[in-house]
Structure 1
Amino acid sequence: MRNWKLLPALMAATLVVAAVLYVAFYFVFLDFFVDLWWFRSLEFETYFWLKLLYRFIFSGAVTTFFFAIFLFHFWIASRYLGLNPPEDILMDDGKRRRFQRFADVFMTGSAKVYTPVSLVLAIVIAIPFYLQWEQALLFFFGEAAGITDPVYGNDVSFYMFSYPIYMLIQKELLTTASLVLLATGVLYWLEHVFVPNQSKEFPVGAKIHLAVLFGFVVLFVIWGFLLDRFSLLYSDQNEPVFFGPGFVELHYQLPLIWLEIFFIAAIAVSIVFYAFSERHRSKAPAIVAVLGYLAAWGLSGSHTIPEMIEKFIVKPNFTRTEGDSMLHNIDATMAAYDLNNIKVVDFKVNLDATKDIEAWSNVKHFENIPVWDREFLIDSYMQLQGLRSYYVFPTVDEDRYFINDHHQQVNLAAREVNIERMPKEAQNWENAHLRFTHGYGAVVSPAAQDAGIPIVWYLRDLNMTSDVGFSVKYPDIYYGQEKYRYAIVPNNLAVSDISTSAPDEGKDYRGNTGIPIPSLFRKMLFAFYLKDEKIFFSPNISNDSKLLLRRNIDERISALTPFLHLDKDPYLVIDKDRFYWIQDAYTLSKYYPVSKPAADDYLDGSHEFNYIRNSVKVVVDAYDGSVDYYISNPDDPIIKAYSRAYPGLLKNLKEMPDHLLQHLRYPRDLYFMQMKIYAKYHQNTPELFYEQAETWQYATVDGQSVLPYFITMDFNRCNDTEEFVMINPMTPIRRDNLSMVGLAGTLDEVNCGHAYKPGITIFKFPKDVQVNGPSQVNALIDQNPEIAAQFTLWNQQGSEVKKGRMVILPMSNSILYVQPIYMLATKTKIPELARVIVSIGNQVVMDKTLQAAFDHLKAQFIKGANGPTSGISATESK
């Protein structure tokens, strides 16, 4: 009968033990060892242990610290300071023994309670520190940036590294001190009530203990107010004019913070004096201090007085009262977004473009003008070079390669594998994880092509045909941008005839990375880890097989270095040995003082930040997945801190192989964001910034923004040196004429070499000359009767006419516009480059080739044709 009564308790205990074992196995044992093996396979084992050590030391130290605080004060309160019997009790043996018995029970019994309570409280208090341990690394390894904030005079590294940790420490210490004060007070009260024969008065020792704890609470509250001063640096009350503290914050709210600090200190002193002064107790000082604090607190929360200050002091003379604040915001934002080194060139526009056209008549200038948009080209790649149902091109990249004795711009895309495109019946476990495990090869086509002819290929097909010298020894792509599942290679399945028609080309995986599976025990562990029993039971997995995990490059890099934030556009680089992915990575902070926060459309929109640097270039081997990190901005204080924290993880950019170094580029996401900020903040005086008369916006065509695009061109900045740059045009707010054209490149203009020297050049147009913007040129095209008639004719022939991205090029003293025209077949939807349109000034010409269109444009200017002209060139009309 007794056994039946114990059964529910036994079952409950069994379930608890089973749950603990399950959690320990899956989330501690399995995760730990699989991560260790994975880091080891990438030769990052030292980095793995270092991360674990930092986390363990920091978490353990914080927990121990708070546990010691709780335990120390509870121990003192229960053992020494709370027992205070009168002398007559101590003289009576019976009463003394009774008192001692209760005291002993209370002291020894309370230890059994407050010790585990102290541990639980310590863990709860320390949880925020566990979650922000990487921020703590910046606190310990960061150093001064050499830039001071204009309001308080602190180095900006204080705000980026120390300020977040100080806020966290202050909050947790205040919580801890308050809990200890409350719990200790309750403990003293319990002793006073339950231990018999106690004196009516608390002992002096208890009062001192509580006073000390109360003093700590007050100190941490005051520290909170002192830190609160710095929150004014991130005030958005003056938006949309400027960001940061203004006249009201600095001359009204800041003095009130100091006033609140004064009254809190006065309240604390009054309370302590009242507690210890038995003869001269008076509540008046405390009441006065409380009333003073309430008044200051009420004023700080009031909207009436700040609104009156704004109305009667600030707005009547805004640029004078807020001039310094606007200038602080401008300087901080320009520094935080790395915009201080922009080179501005006053572009002199010549309405007569004859000389510029003569100078640009060389065919070299037209070999790199991109007439294929990525959005249209990817459809052609898929239709013409997909070749197998399971091959896809996730995206099309742009790059430059030394072809035909000069740097030529190309479009390229990796042929990756996507098992979900296969028939449903073929999407089985063996195909997904053992057979169709990787993509194969890539396609390359020139950016500049003639219309009306098939696409020219520089690299194509599964046999990697190339007429310009592309040759890759290991064309297999095991790591890429697709959502790759885990793969186990090599294995016992025959995998020939998948990537190529040649039977001897089904090569086994020979990469150095991947987690080995040398035993049944590891097979079992991986089956549990991936929740897939087929791994254990499959006879096709051999002792030579390796498990490939995290094969999407973004997922891979993020798992290795979560403190880096990735650009949305990694790109492929072709080497004679294999393919590589280059990923731009950023360091971010939201604590740069007085800098405007980034908008939601920057990066992936999930990060709040007001400071960014492209500090790292990440290289991922597409064949074996090895990852290398190179510091591209050694001046960034954040990457300096991580480099000191993790020695050996981040390499110097000089260590990057030359065949990769020459393919580095300015990041697209960064440039888009910088130009959107610069569009407002280039107005660098308080008067201009307040007027916002010269604010820019991205140029638009048919309501769509013209986003930055790559082009390879000689801009005469270095002798006969072709640059791979990004271009973006901007227009005035709510206007269509062109204000500027920005170039972002990596050319070393001093030495005229291809060393990585990122920089931005702005070609700024004069205000007194009308320069057509993309929307105005688009209107000229639409208004041209010959071009409009041709579009109508094509649309009636079973095709759909689509305009491509408008390319804008600054010539010597003119602006050249190039727009590709595509035709989409109604049935196949394969886009075809039908024509190209070239425009300078008010002249518009359409032809099959850039050279022919430009020659006709040249003829028009030489003849002095300033009136309406034919929109179709002579060669086209024939």
Structure 2
Amino acid sequence: MRNRKLLPALAGATIVGAIVLYVAFYFVFLDFFVDLWWFRSLDFEGYFWLRLLYRFIFSGAVTIFFFAIFQFHFWIASRYLGLNPPDEVLLDDKKRRRFQRFADVFMSGSVKVYSVVSLILAIAIAVPFYLQWEDALLFFFGSDSGFTDPVYGNDISFYLFSYPIYMLIQKELLFTATLVFLATGVLYWMEHIFIPNQGKEFPLGAKIHLSVLFIFIAFFVEWGFMLDRFTLLYSNTREPVFFGPGFVNLRFHLPLIWLSIVAFFVIVCCILFYVFSERHRSKTPIVISALSFVAILSLQSSDFLPMLIDKFIVMPNPTKTEGPFMRYNIDATLGAYDLNNITTVDFPINLDPTTDIETWSNKKHFENIPVWDREFLIDTYQQLQAIRPYYRFKAVDEDRYFIHNHLQQVNLAAREVNIKKLPREAQNWENTHLRYTHGYGAVVSPAAQDAGIPIVWYLRDLNMTSDVGFSVENPDIYYGQEKLVYAIVPNSLVIEDISGSNQDGSRQYKGDSGIPISSYFRKLLFAFYFRDEKIFFSPNISTESKLLIRRNIDERISTLTPFLHLDKDPYLVIEKDRLYWIQDAYTLSNMYPVSQPAADDFLDGKQEFNYIRNSVKIVVDAYDGGVDYYISEPHDPIINAYNRAYPGLFKSLQEMPVNLSRHLRYPRDLYYMQMKLYAKYHQNSPELFYEQAETWQYASVDGEPVLPYFITMDFGRCHNSEEYVMVNPMTPVHRDNLSMVGLAGTMDLKKCDNAYKPGITIFKFPKAVQVNGPSQVNALIDQNPEIAGQFTLWNQMGSEVKKGRMIILPMGGSILYVQPIYMLATKTKMPELARVIVSIGNQVVMDKTLNAAFERLKDMFIKQATGSSSGTSGANP
């Protein structure tokens, strides 16, 4: 009978044990070893262990610390200070021994309970520290930035590193102290209830113990009030005028915070005096100080007095009362978004552009203007150069290469593998993971092309044909932008010419990365990891095979360094040995004091921040997946903290190979976000900032903003050298005339060398002169009868006319507009560059080539200047 009763318990314990082992195996053991082998394959094993140790050493230390606090106070309360027998018990040996025996049983039994309770409470309180362990890492490894906030004079690093962890520590310690105080008080009460012959009064030791805990609570409350002062730096009560503390915050709320600190201190002193005073006990001081404290808190939460101050003091003269605080916001925002070093150039406008046209038409390589938009070009690439159904171009990138003896802008794209385009019956396990494992090669075309002729190719086809010198030794793409699944290479399959090139199509993977499948044990583990038994039973996987995982570059980098925030637009670089991806990465913080928070249309839209730096350039080898991190912003305190925490992870930008550093560029998304802020914050005096009379907005055409775009041109700033810059135009708010054109480049304009030095130049136009914006030029195009007639004709011929991106180019003292015109076939939707429109001033011409259109435009202005032409514009069909 006894054995029968044990059987259900044994079965239950077995089932529970099996579940625990299953969960531990799948979610701890497997993940841990696969991650370890993967980091090791990338030569990041030391970083893997260091990151793991930081996390668990910190969380373990915090858990032990809080366990010690609970255990110590519970032990004191149960063992020493709580026992208070009357004198008759102490004088009677028999009563004393009976009392001591009962007390010993109570104390020895309770220690076991306290230990378990202390551990549970410590783990619960340590959870927030475990979740925010990276904040603690920055706290320990951060250093001064050299810049101070304008309100309290603290170094900016205090807010980036110390303030977040102080808020967490204060909250957790206050909760812990309060919990210990209440629990200890309950223990003392229980001792009086359950231990017989206790005295009616608490002993002096118990009073001291509880008083010390009360003092700790008071200290943490006071610390919380002190930290509350810094919350004013992130106030949004003055928006939309400006962000940060205003007159009411710093002249009304801040003094009240100091008064609340003093009032609470007085309350604590009164309570302690009342507890320990044996004579003249009175609750009056406690009541008075408590009422004063409540009154102060009420004033803090009240809106009535701030409303009166705002109405009768601030609003009658806002620029005087709020001026210093607007200045705080302007300076902080410009510093937080790295907008302090923008160069502003007054751009004089020539009403007669004839001289500019003659000068610039003779400039070397002036024809290097991009007329192919990547949004249109990707369909052309896909239809003409994908060639095989399992290849796809995920995105088209822009870059510059030295071609035809000068720097020339090109469009390029990687031919990545996507087996979802195969017939469904071919999408089996062997094809997915062993055969169609990688993409192949890339295509390159010049960004500047003539219309009406077939597209020109600099690199094309699966045999990598190039007439301009492009050659790649290992064009295979195992790592890219596609959502690639795991691959096992090399394997025993004989793959017949999948790439379709003239090279040996069955050549095997020889990359350095990948997790070796060196034994049947590893095959078994990987089969469990992917829940796929085919890995273990496949005869085509040998001991020479490697497992390639996390092949999407975004996933790969995010797994390695989750503390970096990635740009949405990685781009391809073609080199002699292989293809590479360059990914821009950012460090962010939402704790920069008085800085305007960024809009929610940056990165993934989920990041809340008011500080950003493009601190890291990441290079990913498209062939073997190697990842290298280069610090591009050495003055960023956040990346410097990570660099100290993880020695060896980051390299200096000077260590990047020169052939790759030539392709570094200013990030498009960063520039877009910076210019959105600078459109308001370029008004850097409180008076202008308050008036908002010169606020800008992105120029638009047909309701769509003209987003930043790349162009390679000699702007006359660097000894006849082409610069690769990003351009964005802006207009006044609710107006269409042009206010400025911004250039974001990477060349050191003082040395004019290839060293990466990002900078922004603003060409600002005079307010008194009308400069046509993109929307106005678009209207001139639509109003031109010859151009409109040509569009109508094309639209009736089974094609659809599409306008490309409008390119704006500062040219001497004139503004040149170039807009490509595409025709899309009704059936294939493949775009063709049909014409190019060029405009200066109010003149518009359309032709097949940029040079021809520009010459016609020049002739028109020359004739107009001599009075022999009416200056009408037109189109050349």
With structure 1 as the length reference, what TM-score do the two structures score? 0.99
What is the deviation of 1:497? 1.6
What is the deviation of 1:15? 2.7
Amino acid across the alignment from 1:402: F
Distance across 1 between alignment mates of 2:283 and 2:110 = 35
**1:738-774, Cα deviation, whole Å (9 max, x unpaired):** 0000000001111111110100000000000000000
**1:693-719, Cα deviation, whole Å (9 max, x unpaired):** 000000000000000000000000011
Distance across 2 between alignment mates of 1:728 and 1:94 = 95
**3-state SS, counterpart of residue 630 of structure 1:** strand
In the TM superposition, 1:380-459 aligns within 5 A as 380-459=380-459
**3-state SS, counterpart of residue 152 of structure 1:** coil
In the TM superposition, 1:257-276 aligns within 5 A as 257-276=257-276
Identity among equivalent pairs (%): 76
Q: State the partner residue of 2:549.
A: 549
The 8 Å contact of residues 863 and 871 in structure 2, kept in 1 or not, is answered as: no
Amino acid across the alignment from 2:864: G
Q: Please say if 1:351 is aligned against 2:351.
A: yes
Q: State the partner residue of 1:38.
A: 38
Q: Please say if 1:159 is aligned against 2:140.
A: no
**3-state SS, counterpart of residue 333 of structure 2:** helix
**3-state SS, counterpart of residue 572 of structure 2:** strand
Distance 1:457 1:562, change over 3 A: same
What is the deviation of 1:637? 0.7
Bigger mean CA deviation after superposition, 338-347 or 45-54: 45-54
In the TM superposition, 1:279-358 aligns within 5 A as 279-358=279-358
Distance across 1 between alignment mates of 2:291 and 2:14 = 60
Amino acid across the alignment from 2:217: V
The 8 Å contact of residues 837 and 853 in structure 2, kept in 1 or not, is answered as: yes
What is the deviation of 1:267? 1.6
Bigger mean CA deviation after superposition, 241-250 or 4-13: 4-13
Distance across 2 between alignment mates of 1:585 and 1:548 = 24
What is the deviation of 1:785? 0.3
Structure 2 gaps of 5+ residues are none
Q: Please say if 1:629 is aligned against 2:655.
A: no
In the TM superposition, 1:177-576 aligns within 5 A as 177-362=177-362, 364-502=364-502, 504-576=504-576
Bigger mean CA deviation after superposition, 535-544 or 576-585: 535-544
Distance across 1 between alignment mates of 2:847 and 2:722 = 26
In the TM superposition, 1:58-69 aligns within 5 A as 58-69=58-69
The 8 Å contact of residues 499 and 506 in structure 1, kept in 2 or not, is answered as: no
**1:148-200, Cα deviation, whole Å (9 max, x unpaired):** 10100100100001000000000110111111111111111111110000000
Q: State the partner residue of 1:707.
A: 707
Amino acid across the alignment from 2:213: L
Within the candidate set 866, 871, 874, 1:872 is matched to: 874
Q: State the partner residue of 2:611.
A: 611
Amino acid across the alignment from 1:216: F
The 8 Å contact of residues 412 and 444 in structure 2, kept in 1 or not, is answered as: yes
Structure 1 gaps of 5+ residues are none
What is the deviation of 1:501? 4.6
Q: State the partner residue of 2:684.
A: 684
**3-state SS, counterpart of residue 316 of structure 2:** helix
Distance across 1 between alignment mates of 2:199 and 2:162 = 48
**3-state SS, counterpart of residue 399 of structure 2:** strand
The 8 Å contact of residues 807 and 817 in structure 1, kept in 2 or not, is answered as: yes
The 8 Å contact of residues 363 and 851 in structure 1, kept in 2 or not, is answered as: no
Bigger mean CA deviation after superposition, 281-290 or 223-232: 281-290
The 8 Å contact of residues 679 and 697 in structure 1, kept in 2 or not, is answered as: yes
Amino acid across the alignment from 1:268: V
The 8 Å contact of residues 800 and 824 in structure 1, kept in 2 or not, is answered as: yes
Distance across 1 between alignment mates of 2:22 and 2:248 = 58
Q: State the partner residue of 1:600.
A: 600
Q: State the partner residue of 1:859.
A: 859
Distance across 2 between alignment mates of 1:276 and 1:839 = 89
In the TM superposition, 1:114-129 aligns within 5 A as 114-129=114-129
Q: Please say if 1:19 is aligned against 2:19.
A: yes
What is the deviation of 1:868? 6.2
Q: State the partner residue of 1:835.
A: 835
Distance across 1 between alignment mates of 2:361 and 2:369 = 14
Distance across 2 between alignment mates of 1:279 and 1:533 = 83
What is the deviation of 1:366? 3.8
Q: State the partner residue of 2:51.
A: 51
Bigger mean CA deviation after superposition, 360-369 or 774-783: 360-369
Aligned-residue Cα RMSD (Å) equals: 1.1
Distance across 2 between alignment mates of 1:486 and 1:306 = 61
What is the deviation of 1:363? 6.6
**3-state SS, counterpart of residue 844 of structure 1:** strand
With structure 2 as the length reference, what TM-score do the two structures score? 0.99
What is the deviation of 1:19? 2.3
What is the deviation of 1:96? 1.6
What is the deviation of 1:537? 1.3
Aligned residue-pair number? 875
The 8 Å contact of residues 434 and 488 in structure 2, kept in 1 or not, is answered as: yes
Q: State the partner residue of 1:90.
A: 90
Q: Please say if 1:729 is aligned against 2:729.
A: yes
The 8 Å contact of residues 83 and 198 in structure 1, kept in 2 or not, is answered as: yes
**1:575-622, Cα deviation, whole Å (9 max, x unpaired):** 000000000000111111000011100121111110000011000000
Distance across 1 between alignment mates of 2:483 and 2:264 = 57
Q: State the partner residue of 1:795.
A: 795
What is the deviation of 1:368? 1.9
**3-state SS, counterpart of residue 414 of structure 1:** strand
Distance across 1 between alignment mates of 2:420 and 2:241 = 51
The 8 Å contact of residues 823 and 831 in structure 1, kept in 2 or not, is answered as: yes
**3-state SS, counterpart of residue 384 of structure 1:** helix
Distance across 2 between alignment mates of 1:645 and 1:524 = 36
**3-state SS, counterpart of residue 461 of structure 2:** coil
What is the deviation of 1:240? 0.3
**1:105-144, Cα deviation, whole Å (9 max, x unpaired):** 1110111100011111111111111111111111111111
What is the deviation of 1:419? 1.5
Q: State the partner residue of 1:28.
A: 28
The 8 Å contact of residues 517 and 523 in structure 1, kept in 2 or not, is answered as: yes
**3-state SS, counterpart of residue 17 of structure 2:** helix
Distance across 2 between alignment mates of 1:583 and 1:293 = 55
**3-state SS, counterpart of residue 13 of structure 1:** helix
Bigger mean CA deviation after superposition, 557-566 or 490-499: 490-499
Distance across 2 between alignment mates of 1:770 and 1:672 = 25
What is the deviation of 1:504? 2.4
Distance across 2 between alignment mates of 1:425 and 1:308 = 75
Distance across 1 between alignment mates of 2:629 and 2:503 = 38
The 8 Å contact of residues 701 and 774 in structure 2, kept in 1 or not, is answered as: yes
